[in-house]
Amino acid sequence: MTAQPAPVAETGYPWPIETARLDNGLRVVVSEDHTAPVVGVNLWYDVGSRHEPAGQTGFAHLFEHLMFEGSAHVAKTEHMRYVQGAGGNLNATTNPDRTNYFETLPAEHLELALWLEADRMGGLVPALTQETLDNQREVVKNERRQRYDNVPYGDAWLRLLPLLYPPGHPYHHATIGSMEDLNAASLETFQAFHAQYYAPNNAVLTVAGDVTAAEVFALAEKYFGAIEAVPVTAAPHGHLSGPATAPVQETVVGNVPAPRVYLSHRTHPFGTAGYDAMTVLATVLGSGRGSRLYQRLADGARIAQPDYIGSYGVDLAHAPAPLIVTATAKDGVDIGTLTAGVAEVLDSMATEPVTAAELDRAKALLTTSWWRQVSTVAGRADTLSRYATQFGDPGAAAYRLPQWLAVTADDIADAARTLNPESRVTLTYLPEGDDK
Amino acid sequence: MTLVATRPDPGDARPYTFPGIQRLSVAGGEVVAAHMPGQLLATATLLLDAGAAYETIGREGTAAVLAKSLEEGTATRDSAAYALALEGLGAELSTSVDWEAFRTGVSVPVGLLPRAVALLAEATRTPRLDPADVERVRDDEATALRMDWAQPGPQADAALRVSLFEPGERYGRPLHGDPESMAAVTVEDVTAFHEAYLKRPGVLLVAGDLEKLDLRELGEAAFAGTSGAPLPVEGPLDVPLSPARRLILVDRPGSVQSTLRLGHRAPERAHPGYVPITLAATVLGGAFTSRLNHLIREVRGYTYGIRADFAMSRRFGRFGVSSSVQTAVTAPALTDTVGEITRTQQDGVTEEELAVARTWRAGSLSVDMQTPGSIAGALATLVIHGLPDDYYATLRRQLLETTVEQVSAAAAEHLHPEALTLVVEGDAAAIRDELVAAKLGELL
């Protein structure tokens, strides 16, 4: 048998998609696939840290924790026990844009998942106590310590956001929030938070896997149908009048093992042609050993550590999303040399045309990563929830991969010309003693 | 508003099946493949008997340097050309080293797998290993390990590990070495390791839509130019236990959390008690609803998470607990943790807890094994531990049928709270006195 050529992707989503909307506004998406006896259940609530007003940073994420602590008919800790007891796994995440809740279970337990999700959508507030809030506040503060404060470079994302987005912008503050705001969180605030955002007309429910659409629609009606819609408050707007007009720099001196630099720009919102070009650009620039950054700085000039070099976009949809380029110095390389080297490679994206080989490599990597993302029922359900929530159509998921594959070298050059040093954020970490 | 008040019963259970396994001897090696019809991606993993256990003491990290050096050019192309060829297929070479195996693997759209396996074999069998490249990779790896060791965790892991083995035992040293041993690796260590262990055929694991793949073609590419017989498999080690609890404090000045690592030795993976032992650990610290997570996270609010498990490899195992707790509660968190281990060892588990552990572990076999990558990993477990092709169906049945008495007996026999080593990596000045006063063990 001879090798076959790389498949030309006409669609990034070759599974069926069926949709329905309950009278209360809940959008239900089903994608059948009977190859494995499992089912992925996923809910996107259109609420994230971008909705948080000043003084309430971290509330959307803390709220996510409270959603696992019991509801009208589910006692504290039973949520986890029921799902794991059914053989499933579960989690939730919060980012600036949204909060998602998801579980994968053996297919015969679909109804359990829908019952649990409906109970905490429609019945969280009666079960929410001060004791639960106090306990989860401590858990979240420990999460902040473990993931951001106690790790070298762990707070880079927390520092980049306020440098990229002006005060008052929904992306200005990080999702984890500040210790001060978390300490000030009151029970009434969270009850109001639930009433405002955890409504069927502010959510998308997706089920992927060994189910039928008719079965899911009937069960969705049974469990979610009685939950009442509420008027949805518009999110704070994320409009920005063009790119930043002045470079910004911040230097952190601390307990880090080597100098590191992050260069970052606001680009375009996720889902736009401009951001698709930026995604391919980031892959050409900084993904894999064949990328420009690796070839020129890790392999060529050998000024950067090979394991800590790369570039990526952060897929945010409600304002121009960040592109982040990072490198860490090899022993004996100073931060000036490193930063100049990274900037030179970044700038080369505008001045040196991307070759066919570079472009093909990037598209092949993106193709594999796309198929990996949709290789599980959980990945598929999350993807469909995203496109239904952010673009009004789960079927739009099918276009992302073809749109990446349609990006040309000229598109990348155009995108790269917007990444000029005048709009650049530079965040630098230096080990203590290197700050002279 | 009327929510449904009662928890629904499950529907009819779908039958459990593990993908059909095909085995093929070809070109001196063996192909073990799992059929996943309709899968768009396929995975191939070359599983070689070349684990870190074969490394020389003081040169731990040799296999890791070799793994990274494989992509620094081959007999036929330089590193840039190799990267472009492989990444041009959408593949990246994944490498991993554990105690018993050295793995190289690729995942690509199924039609590209033959070309990706040819490139995988090219790097694995005929790497250039230019001395200047190997030395540079060694230096980069040492730097990367120093970066890693600047994070909380690796130093505590190493302190626990060294306390569980005799001086001079390879297993008492970190799996991937420490920054010093990595820096001491020589070009000769690396080339000798390659010569001794990576030129034997080994086993090619394939997971994907086998109707679109020719296993013979893949095997011939993977085993071309290889020779040598499989190495003898050494038997399991005994399970030595410390006569008393010990406390080791690793100073991390200014740390806002204390990293906890508790452990003692345990049996090997193929031990007949594997299923009840695993279920006991699940009740104690495996599930989110476990005893430890419930008490330390949900009741006390000391931590973001805590877990306990038995890590079991071919020749030995270890029971371990890991967590990070805020500095001020280090001593009470340790006291509570040792208390839950002791309670589990003495009083066993309840039917209610075990019911969750059983169905969770059994269900996970379906939930966690959807992708070619995860199925290839499952095939590796079969090969490394000599398990039969129907192993996963049998395991599922055993998980569901094991009784409270069996699991409580396993907890009583295999948990040893009095023999624990307790490692605390944190701000010693802030916690030392309180730890000593808590009398949890002799401070070493």
Check CB contact under 8 Å for A104 and B40.
Answer: no
| Chain Cα centroid distance, residue B70 | 22
Chain A nearest-CA distance from B209, in A, is 12
d(CA A372, CA A382): 13
Phi, psi of B331 (to 5 degrees): -65, -50
- Note the residue count of chain B: 444
Chain B residues whose beta carbon lies within 8 Å of the beta carbon of residue A194: none
For the domain spanning B21-223, the CATH number is: 3.30.830.10
Is the separation of the CB atoms in B380 and B101 below 8 Å? Answer: yes
Phi, psi of A236 (to 5 degrees): -55, 140
Q: For A373, which residue in chain B has the nearest alpha carbon? A: B371
Residue ranges covered by each domain of chain A: 18-224, 248-431
Asked if domains A18-224 and A248-431 share a fold, the reply is: yes
| SS3 at position A196 | helix
Question: Which pair of tokens denotes residue A247?
Answer: 């470079």
Interfacial B residues in 336-395 facing A (CB < 8 Å): 355-356, 359-364, 366-368, 370-372
Check CB contact under 8 Å for B2 and A226.
Answer: yes
d(CA B251, CA A198): 45
State yes or no: pLDDT of A434 exceeds 80.
no
Question: Which pair of tokens denotes residue B29?
Answer: 């090696």
Check CB contact under 8 Å for A86 and B297.
Answer: no
Residue A5: pLDDT band (50, 70, 90) is very low
Check CB contact under 8 Å for B366 and A357.
Answer: no
Interface test with A, best of B148, B299, B304, B395 (most A CBs within 10 A): B304
Q: pLDDT at position A227, please?
A: 97
Question: Rounded to whole angstroms, what are the CA distances from A149 to A121, A257, B267?
Answer: 32, 15, 37
The mean per-residue pLDDT over the stretch A152-161 comes to 94
Tens place of pLDDT per residue across chain B (444 aa):
689 999 999 998 888 889 999 999 999 999 999 999 999 999 999 999 999 999 999 999 999 999 999 999 999 999 999 999 999 999 999 999 999 999 999 999 999 999 999 999 999 999 999 999 999 999 999 999 998 998 999 999 999 999 999 999 999 999 999 999 999 999 999 999 999 999 999 999 999 999 999 999 999 999 999 999 889 988 999 999 999 999 999 999 999 899 999 999 999 999 999 999 999 999 999 977 899 999 999 899 899 899 999 999 999 999 999 999 999 999 999 999 999 999 999 999 999 999 999 999 999 998 999 999 999 999 999 999 999 999 999 999 999 999 999 999 999 999 999 999 999 999 999 999 999 999 999 998
- For A145, which of B111, B326, B356 is closest by C-beta distance? B326
- For A368, which of B109, B368, B370 is closest by C-beta distance? B109
Chain B nearest-CA distance from A244, in A, is 33
Q: Which CATH number fits domain A248-431: 1.20.1250.20, 3.30.830.10, 3.20.20.100, 3.20.20.70?
A: 3.30.830.10
Question: Which pair of tokens denotes residue A370?
Answer: 């796309």
- For A106, which of B13, B143, B288 is closest by C-beta distance? B13
d(CA A95, CA A218): 31
Check CB contact under 8 Å for B7 and A81.
Answer: no
Q: pLDDT at position B12, please?
A: 87
Q: For A110, which residue in chain B has the nearest alpha carbon? A: B10
d(CA B138, CA B197): 19
d(CA B367, CA B365): 6
Q: State the DSSP string of A113-125.
A: HHHHHHHHHHSSG
Q: For A154, which residue in chain B has the nearest alpha carbon? A: B151
Question: Rounded to whole angstroms, what are the CA distances from B343 to A388, B280, B286?
Answer: 49, 12, 16
Alpha helices in A272-334 (DSSP H): 273-286, 292-293
Residue B420, amino acid: L
Question: Rounded to whole angstroms, what are the CA distances from B16 to A164, B267, B333, B366, B390?
Answer: 50, 29, 40, 7, 12
Q: pLDDT at position A435, please?
A: 58
Question: Which pair of tokens denotes residue B109?
Answer: 């759209």
Check CB contact under 8 Å for B364 and A7.
Answer: no
The mean per-residue pLDDT over the stretch A270-276 comes to 97
Q: Does B151 touch chain A (CB under 8 A)?
A: yes
Q: pLDDT at position B163, please?
A: 96
Strands ordered across the beta sheet of A248-254: A248-254, A425-431, A260-266, A322-328, A310-313
More confident residue, A245 or B432: B432
Residue B239: other Cβ atoms inside 10 A: 17
Interface test with A, best of B3, B36, B283 (most A CBs within 10 A): B3
* β-pairing verdict for B317-326 and B303-312: antiparallel
Residue A2: pLDDT band (50, 70, 90) is very low
CATH class of B246-443: alpha beta
Query: What stretch of H or E contains A27?
Result: strand A27-32
Q: At what angle do helices A273-286 and A356-373 cross, to 10 degrees?
A: 110
Listed in order, strand segments (DSSP E) in B141-217 are 203-208
> Which residue shows structure tokens 């897929």?
A315
Reported as a single tens digit per residue, the pLDDT across A334-379 is 999 999 999 999 999 999 999 999 999 999 999 999 999 999 999 9
d(CA B348, CA B283): 10
Chain A residues whose beta carbon lies within 8 Å of the beta carbon of residue B87: 288-290, 361, 364-365
> Quick one: how many helices (H) and strands (E) in chain B?
16, 12
Is the separation of the CB atoms in B316 and A41 below 8 Å? Answer: no
Chain B residues whose beta carbon lies within 8 Å of the beta carbon of residue A119: 3-4
Check CB contact under 8 Å for A223 and B84.
Answer: no
Return the percentage of chain A with pLDDT > 70, whole number.
97
- For B14, which of A88, A108, A138 is closest by C-beta distance? A108
d(CA B311, CA B266): 8
Q: Point out the least confidently predicted range of A8-12, A206-210, B63-67.
A: A8-12
Question: Which pair of tokens denotes residue A165?
Answer: 């987005």
In degrees, rounded to 5, the angle at the alpha carbon of residue A164 between the alpha carbons of residues A161 and A167 is: 80
State yes or no: pLDDT of A77 exceeds 70.
yes
Every domain of chain B with CATH number 3.30.830.10 lies at 21-223, 246-443
Classify domain A18-224 at the CATH topology level: Cytochrome Bc1 Complex; Chain A, domain 1 (3.30.830)
In degrees, rounded to 5, the angle at the alpha carbon of residue A233 between the alpha carbons of residues A228 and A239 is: 145
Q: What is the mean pLDDT of chain A?
A: 93
* β-pairing verdict for A322-328 and A260-266: antiparallel
Chain A nearest-CA distance from B378, in A, is 16
Q: Answer yes or no: is the ipTM higher than 0.95.
A: no
* β-pairing verdict for B421-426 and A89-94: unpaired
